[in-house]
């Protein structure tokens, strides 16, 4: 898989060419405020706003807090945003690559190959003196067809199997992994057999990713370069794990399968085992 990241300078150049990429603003925060508020105050020229919860995920429930959307619903959203079969799509968020990673992963899962993430999002765009707009575009209807299955995906059974037969990475903070605290879900702990590699250290101070070499060095000691080692990742609800998947892909490593339901789905079934401690 080619490098899925684009810099502010590269995007600025791409926007001056024909046809320009489709730009999706997916700013989002788990605890608010709504990303649309920031979009209305200023966004990249031509960007269309999509909401992670309402547009790019299905309804929360036993499948997890951020399950996959129904393909037909996602197709309608993407066509309304102007995404065509031959579009280059660039997604961005406020700067921590979190929502943008989930958007990238979802579009790739939907079968659209040409998707890039603006590394460092709005923060790096502004640092590079990138232009902003307050105009709300009205793109022509796109013709994308969603073909689900474009990215490796895990369910609970697959995650449990990977934890015992391969490498299952828990990307949450160490205290959540150890079961010392759980700020969101009803049960604390981790999937037995998982290895804790927190996602946070992948980020530079401004929120974008660290260098490719630094990202590579975090995962190669785990055997991530081994093409025969099955690798998966999970988090609390299937968003932060996609940021790890993007980081590993950008580092030139195999893209891990993502357990989209993640911990929020795992603990929905009280019969599933829970690990604590290291």
The active-site residue, picked from 235, 247, 248, 268, is 235
- Identify any residues that bridge with 153 across adjacent strands, giving them in sequence order: 258
pLDDT tens digit sequence for 79-113? 999 999 999 999 999 999 999 999 999 999 999 99
Tell the residue number behind the tokens 């980081």, with chain if given: 247
pLDDT tens digit sequence for 159-214? 999 999 999 999 999 999 999 999 999 999 999 999 999 999 999 998 899 999 99
Residue 238 belongs to a domain with what CATH number?
3.40.250.10
Fill in the DSSP letter of residue 41: H
Domain range holding 14? 5-127
Q: Are residues 108 and 24 in the same domain?
A: yes
Fill in the DSSP letter of residue 208: S
Q: Are residues 77 and 164 in the same domain?
A: no
Q: Are residues 78 and 170 in the same domain?
A: no
235 given a catalytic annotation: yes
pLDDT band at 33 (very low <50, low <70, confident <90, very high): confident
Q: Are residues 112 and 207 in the same domain?
A: no
Which pTM was predicted?
A: 0.96
Residue 114 belongs to a domain: yes
Distances (CA, A) of 17 to 12, 14, 111, 129, 165: 9, 5, 25, 19, 47
Task: Let me know: does 144 contact 111? Beta carbons within 8 Å.
Answer: no
């Amino acid at each position: 898989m080619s490098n899925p990241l684009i810099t502010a300078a590269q995007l600025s150049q791409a926007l001056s060419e024909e046809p320009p990429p489709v730009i999706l603003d997916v700013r989002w925060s788990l605890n608010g405020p709504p990303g649309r508020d920031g979009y209305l105050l200023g966004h990249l020229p031509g960007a269309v706003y999509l909401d992670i919860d309402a547009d790019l995920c299905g309804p929360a429930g036993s499948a997890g807090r951020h399950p996959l959307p129904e393909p037909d619903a996602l197709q309608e959203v993407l066509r309304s945003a102007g995404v065509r079969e031959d579009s280059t799509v660039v997604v961005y968020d406020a700067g921590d690559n979190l929502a943008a990673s989930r958007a990238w992963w979802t579009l790739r899962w939907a079968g659209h190959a040409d998707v890039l993430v603006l590394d460092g999002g709005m923060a790096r765009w502004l640092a590079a003196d990138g232009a902003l707009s307050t105009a709300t575009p009205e793109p022509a209807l796109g013709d994308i067809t969603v073909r689900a299955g474009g990215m490796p995906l895990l369910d609970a059974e697959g995650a449990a199997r990977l934890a015992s037969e391969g490498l299952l990475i828990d990307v949450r903070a160490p205290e959540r992994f150890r079961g010392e605290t759980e700020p969101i879900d009803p049960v604390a702990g981790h999937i037995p057999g998982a290895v804790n590699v927190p996602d946070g250290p992948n980020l530079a101070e401004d929120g974008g990713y660290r260098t490719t070499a630094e990202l590579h060095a975090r995962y190669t000691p785990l055997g991530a370069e081994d093409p025969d080692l099955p690798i998966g990742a999970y988090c609390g609800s299937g968003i932060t794990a996609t940021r790890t998947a993007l980081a590993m892909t950008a580092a030139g490593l195999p893209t891990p399968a993502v357990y989209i339901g993640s911990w929020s789905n795992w603990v929905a079934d009280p019969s599933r085992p829970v690990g604590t401690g290291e």
